[in-house]
């Protein structure tokens, strides 16, 4: 139940305790685990840029030092909840690589840029962390992956995530810096994927979501100025689907789909927001957000 900072302090208790802290298999790197909470009691609501970089660098240094001295034989989970940017790529990459080498099952990289009730940043980092899928080429133990506020780098060699069952992509952006196939390739490689959430993401290129075992899919609030031409979902065992966003075209092939939530309220860049509903003939539970002007359109969709 100790924070990581206090956990390491136990090594001074006795010779037997010198390496005991390395037995922790769930590693949680956040503000309260890495710093004394009282350090932040008197900080103003808005943190100047130079102070932000100071705390970010200090956090990254402590994280790196912890992993450098960590001698545990296995790591079960890694969670980083702190606004780190691409300036600390080496630290983050080493953390991921060591976790994979020690059989990590769960990775959460939550690089949020605003921390309510703790401190806020007036400026965005120079660049968000650029996550390379190549880091996961040997991550056969990984079953859960959560990425928040970073970009996806185009992999040079990627064939991992064979046992991934859950993926959450929140706030990923700048997909235009990579090829069209990165997000689609991610789903293509994850043959055991059952739960997928794409939230608050900037989708520029057409996206193909496939998965023989995918049963629950959420595409939420992915409505940015640049929208993909098409989102295609082809999942034989999909049973629930939640969608809200903007795209010129969306198609869903899911013969076992039973439960759907669909935000179809009129948006300028979505010319036919109800077109995909008509093809979902097997659903039993449909919840929708529509405008009064769409009622007549919906009637014609169901009639057909």
- Which pLDDT does position 119 carry in this prediction? 42
pLDDT of residue 115: 40
Whole-angstrom Cα distance, residue 98 to residue 70?
Answer: 10
217 falls in which pLDDT band (50, 70, 90)?
A: very high
Higher pLDDT, 68 or 267: 68
Encoded tokens for 4: 């990581």
Q: For residue 124, what pLDDT band results from cuts at 50, 70 and 90?
A: very low
Four-residue CA torsion sign, 278, 283, 284, 286: negative
Collapse the DSSP code of 287 into the 3-class scheme (helix H, G, I; strand E, B; otherwise coil) and give the result.
Answer: strand
In terms of average pLDDT, the best of 8-17, 99-108, 179-188 is: 99-108
**Stretch 90-107: mean pLDDT:** 95
Predicted TM-score (pTM) of the model is 0.84
Q: 39-48, 174-183, 216-225, 226-235 — which is least confidently predicted? A: 39-48
Tokens of 198: 């794409």
According to the model, what pLDDT value does residue 214 have?
96
Distance, in Å, from the CA atom of 42 to the CA atom of 219, rounded to the nearest integer, reads 40
CA distance readout (Å), 212 to 18, 54, 192, 209: 48, 46, 8, 10
| pLDDT reported for residue 54 | 77
Average pLDDT of the residues in 82-88 = 86
Rounded to an integer, what distance in angstroms lies between the CA atom of residue 297 and that of residue 283?
19
What distance in Å separates the CA atoms of residue 108 and residue 178, rounded to the nearest whole number? Answer: 22
What pLDDT was estimated at residue 238? 95
């Amino acid at each position: 139940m100790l924070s990581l900072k206090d956990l390491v302090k136990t090594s001074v208790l006795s010779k037997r305790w010198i390496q005991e802290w390395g037995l922790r298999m769930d590693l949680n790197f956040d503000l309260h685990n890495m710093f004394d909470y009282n350090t932040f009691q008197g900080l103003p609501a808005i943190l100047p840029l130079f102070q932000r970089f100071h705390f970010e660098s200090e956090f990254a240094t402590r994280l790196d030092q912890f992993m450098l001295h960590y001698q545990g034989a296995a790591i079960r989970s890694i969670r980083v909840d702190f606004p780190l940017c691409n300036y600390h790529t080496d630290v983050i990459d080493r953390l991921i690589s060591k976790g994979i080498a020690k059989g990590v099952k769960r990775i959460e990289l939550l690089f949020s840029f605003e921390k309510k009730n703790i401190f806020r940043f007036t400026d965005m980092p120079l660049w968000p962390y650029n996550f390379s899928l190549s880091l996961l080429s040997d991550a056969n133990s990984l079953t859960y992956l959560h990425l928040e506020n970073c970009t996806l780098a185009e992999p040079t060699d990627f064939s991992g995530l064979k046992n991934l069952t859950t993926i959450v992509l929140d706030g990923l952006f700048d997909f235009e810096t990579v090829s069209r196939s990165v997000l689609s390739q991610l789903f293509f490689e994850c043959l055991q994927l059952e739960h997928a959430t794409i939230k608050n993401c900037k989708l520029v290129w057409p996206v193909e979501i496939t998965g023989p075992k995918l049963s629950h899919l959420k595409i939420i609030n992915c409505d940015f100025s640049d929208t993909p031409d098409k989102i295609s979902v082809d999942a034989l065992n999909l049973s629930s689907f939640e969608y809200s966003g903007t795209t010129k075209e969306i198609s869903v092939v899911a013969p076992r789909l039973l439960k759907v939530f669909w935000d179809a309220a009129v948006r300028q860049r979505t010319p036919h927001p109800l077109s995909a509903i008509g093809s979902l003939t097997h659903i039993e539970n449909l919840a929708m957000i529509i405008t009064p002007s769409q009622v007549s359109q919906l009637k014609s969709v169901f009639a057909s």
